[in-house]
């Protein structure tokens, strides 16, 4: 009987081991993926530019005459910083005849340091462009298979400004006369130059028609078609109809202001200066003893790093020491409101979020997290938290948003990760991480923290950031978690008060608030997780 039980247990163990091996051997769509800014995108962009250049030069032998009134509206690759000269010198001249003033901003730096500042700014801007631009921003022209040739994407105009529309052409069979028509809804068309033997109707209007007996002349004229946005909107798109006999095409022109970069001066190049790149932010409530332990541990390894503390205690206590910024909030304002306040005061490129009961150790190497953000397209990277039991948690989560029709969508949250990161063997790409993470300050501010989530929240920030944040997790950067085990006779009055707020007897109101926000604000009908 005993041997039979042993056989059964061995069989069960074998089945479990085989299942684990099968799971570990199951092929993934990716191994380690390179998330550094891609050079391939620039190669594709050059290829597309070369194709467009060939198309534009195709009719280079057809003469044209410039239309100065339209040509002057087109953007040039450079801007001039010039103000109005004062022509009338009388009292209150600025009130009666307001003039444009100009300020050269490079005067904020000494001549001896300006070249180095320009170099650092150019490097940061290049990194910003690589992170913010995608293949969807490239200009792509659909060659004339229909027989219309037109740009399928990548055409953009500033609000109320003028551009040349690239890539327009007609490839048609022999006809007595060739004609095309363009129609817009938020702007007008014109021409920057005239081509002989081409008839034009509708200059300066939302509908323009061109016709000619010669296809080459018509195509040359199409290279000088301009679009001027006339209906102001900071970020929208105009749909343009491009029509010839028996054929119709539609393409969009993006109307939007240029994306204003938010760059941070990294200082002289060398090893990462964490104090210049990173600010540590935390929120505290009724735990000054643990907060002080956190500050002491930070100072052991990063003596000059700035620490921002948001504090919603009823009776705030002063925090002393250098490089500490202490911000007082209304009593009990809450967890996410405190996060918003703390992050709003960060002026460095990156912000490190920590709970007030964490403790830095020799394994809390912020330089490793900085390296991930400096060399990849990642926006936020989490570390790991070691509990007093020795258990190390990184809480890696993946999100999947499933469309659900009129009732709302379904969000599926699962433990795990998407793929490893090439060059960082302990790092993987995820959608949600633990409460210990380093992030680009502007990205965290862009997503923000919903202040209605007062006491219990964390993943809600990553849910709001879905589609905005590129998230990773590295389990070799570790912060310790102070012990939460408190015997009843060992609890202080502040401990009791904290647990009363943090873990109320009835948590139904908190759960209802979270559910209502997910349902209405995020338009979810269902949330699943493991």
Domain boundary among 256, 290, 323: 256
pLDDT of the residue at 112: 83
Give the residue among 347, 361, 360, 314 at the shortest CA–CA distance from 493.
Answer: 314
* Residue-by-residue DSSP string for 328-374: E-STT--HHHHHHHHHHT--SSEEEE--TTEE--TT--HHHHHHHHH
Long-range contacts of 325-332 (CB under 8 A, 24+ apart): 332/285, 332/454, 332/501
Specify whether 242 is located in the same domain as 346: no
Specify whether 362 is located in the same domain as 295: yes
What's the pLDDT tens digit per position in 423-474?
999 999 999 999 999 999 999 999 998 888 877 778 899 999 998 999 999 9
Specify whether 211 is located in the same domain as 303: no
pLDDT of the residue at 18: 46
d(CA 356, CA 284): 6
Specify whether 324 is located in the same domain as 204: no
Return the CATH number at 139: 2.60.40
Contact yes or no for 210/150 (Cβ under 8 A): no
d(CA 363, CA 426): 14
3-state secondary structure of 526: strand
d(CA 191, CA 287): 69
pLDDT of the residue at 29: 46
- Strand stretches in 47-173, DSSP E: 65-66, 140-142, 148-153, 156-157, 162-164, 169-170
Specify whether 373 is located in the same domain as 512: yes
Q: Residue 317: inside a domain, yes or no? A: yes
Q: Residue 353: inside a domain, yes or no? A: yes
C-alpha to C-alpha distances, 347 to 278, 322, 403, 440, 492, nearest whole angstrom: 9, 17, 38, 11, 36
Q: What are phi and psi of 235, to 5 degrees?
A: -160, 95
3-state secondary structure of 12: helix
What's the pLDDT tens digit per position in 402-429?
887 777 888 888 899 999 999 999 999 9
pLDDT of the residue at 21: 43
Contact yes or no for 365/488 (Cβ under 8 A): no
Q: Residue 92: inside a domain, yes or no? A: no
Specify whether 162 is located in the same domain as 311: no
Domain that holds residue 315: 274-529
Within the chain, which residues score under 70 in pLDDT? 1-31, 37-57, 76-84, 86-88, 91-106, 108, 132-138, 140, 143-145, 269-270, 483-510
Specify whether 198 is located in the same domain as 325: no
Give the residue among 301, 306, 304, 311 at the shortest CA–CA distance from 280.
Answer: 306
3-state secondary structure of 70: helix
Q: Residue 266: inside a domain, yes or no? A: no
Specify whether 303 is located in the same domain as 338: yes
d(CA 76, CA 64): 20
Domain boundary among 199, 224, 256: 256
How many other CB atoms are there within 10 angstroms of residue 217's CB atom? 20
Specify whether 248 is located in the same domain as 356: no
Q: Residue 130: inside a domain, yes or no? A: no
d(CA 10, CA 8): 5
pLDDT of the residue at 134: 60
Specify whether 303 is located in the same domain as 357: yes
Domain boundary among 229, 256, 283: 256
Instruction: Judge residue 432's burial from the number of C-beta atoms within 10 Å of its C-beta, 0-12 exposed, 13-18 middle, 19 or more buried.
Output: buried
Give the chain's end-to-end CA distance (angstroms, integer): 39
User: What length does the chain have?
Assistant: 530
Give the residue among 265, 452, 479, 500 at the shortest CA–CA distance from 384.
Answer: 479
Look at strands 324-328 and 306-311 and give their pairing.
Answer: parallel
For residue 172 the two structure tokens come to 């048609």
Q: In the block, which residue shows the tokens 């080459």?
A: 216
Contact yes or no for 472/378 (Cβ under 8 A): yes
d(CA 519, CA 300): 45
Which DSSP helix (H) or strand (E) runs through 225? strand 225-229
Return the CATH number at 491: 3.90.550.10
Q: Residue 186: inside a domain, yes or no? A: yes
Specify whether 284 is located in the same domain as 367: yes
Number of domains in the chain: 2
Q: Report residue 508 CA to chain centroid gap.
A: 35
Q: In the block, which residue shows the tokens 């509708």?
A: 202
Contact yes or no for 327/311 (Cβ under 8 A): yes
Specify whether 289 is located in the same domain as 347: yes
Q: Residue 27: inside a domain, yes or no? A: no
3-state secondary structure of 150: strand
Q: Residue 468: inside a domain, yes or no? A: yes
């Amino acid at each position: 009987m005993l041997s039979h039980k042993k056989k059964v247990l061995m069989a069960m163990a074998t089945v479990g081991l085989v299942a684990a091996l099968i799971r570990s051997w199951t092929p993934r769509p990716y191994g380690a993926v390179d998330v550094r800014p891609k050079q391939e995108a620039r190669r594709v962009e050059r290829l597309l530019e070369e194709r467009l250049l060939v198309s534009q030069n195709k009719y280079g032998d057809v003469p044209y005459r410039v239309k100065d009134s339209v040509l002057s509206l087109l953007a040039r690759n450079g801007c001039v910083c010039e103000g109005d000269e004062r022509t009338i010198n009388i009292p209150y001249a600025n009130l009666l005849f307001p003039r444009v003033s100009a300020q050269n901003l490079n005067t904020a730096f000494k001549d001896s340091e300006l070249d180095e500042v320009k170099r650092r700014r150019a490097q940061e801007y290049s990194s910003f462009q690589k992170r913010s631009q995608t293949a969807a921003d490239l200009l792509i022209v659909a060659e004339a298979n229909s027989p219309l040739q037109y740009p399928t994407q990548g055409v953009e105009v500033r609000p109320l400004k003028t551009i040349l529309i690239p890539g327009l052409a007609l490839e048609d069979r022999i006809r007595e006369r060739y004609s095309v028509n363009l129609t817009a809804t938020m702007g007008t068309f014109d021409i920057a130059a005239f081509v002989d033997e081409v008839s034009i109707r509708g200059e300066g209007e939302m509908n323009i028609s061109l016709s000619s007996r010669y296809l080459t002349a018509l195509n040359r004229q199409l290279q000088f078609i301009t679009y001027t946005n006339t209906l102001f909107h900071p970020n929208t798109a105009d749909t343009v109809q491009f029509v010839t006999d028996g054929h119709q095409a539609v393409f969009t022109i993006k109307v939007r202001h240029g994306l204003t970069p938010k760059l941070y001066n990294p200082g002289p190049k060398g090893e990462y200066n964490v104090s210049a790149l990173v600010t540590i932010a935390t929120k505290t409530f009724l735990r000054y003893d643990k907060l002080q332990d956190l500050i002491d541990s930070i100072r052991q390894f990063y003596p000059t790093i700035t620490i921002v503390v948001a504090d919603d205690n009823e009776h705030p206590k002063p925090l002393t020491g250098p490089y500490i910024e202490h911000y007082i909030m209304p009593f009990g304002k809450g967890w996410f409101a405190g996060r918003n306040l703390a992050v709003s005061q960060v002026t460095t490129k990156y912000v490190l979020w920590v709970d007030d009961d964490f403790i830095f150790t020799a394994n809390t190497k912020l330089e490793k997290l900085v390296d991930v953000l400096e060399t990849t397209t990642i926006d936020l990277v989490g570390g790991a938290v070691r509990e007093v039991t020795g258990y190390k948690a990184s809480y890696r989560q993946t999100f999947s948003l499933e469309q659900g029709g009129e009732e709302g969508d379904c969000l599926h949250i699962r433990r795990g990760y998407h793929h490893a990161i090439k060059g960082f063997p302990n790092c993987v790409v995820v959608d949600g991480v633990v409460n210990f993470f380093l992030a680009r300050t502007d990205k965290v501010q862009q997503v923000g923290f919903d202040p209605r989530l007062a006491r219990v929240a964390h993943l809600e920030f990553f849910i709001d950031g879905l589609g905005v944040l590129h998230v990773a997790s590295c389990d070799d950067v570790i912060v310790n978690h102070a012990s939460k085990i408190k015997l009843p006779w060992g609890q202080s009055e502040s401990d009791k008060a904290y647990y009363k707020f943090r873990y109320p007897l009835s948590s139904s109101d908190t759960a209802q608030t979270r559910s209502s926000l997910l349902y209405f604000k995020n338009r979810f009908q269902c949330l699943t997780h493991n």
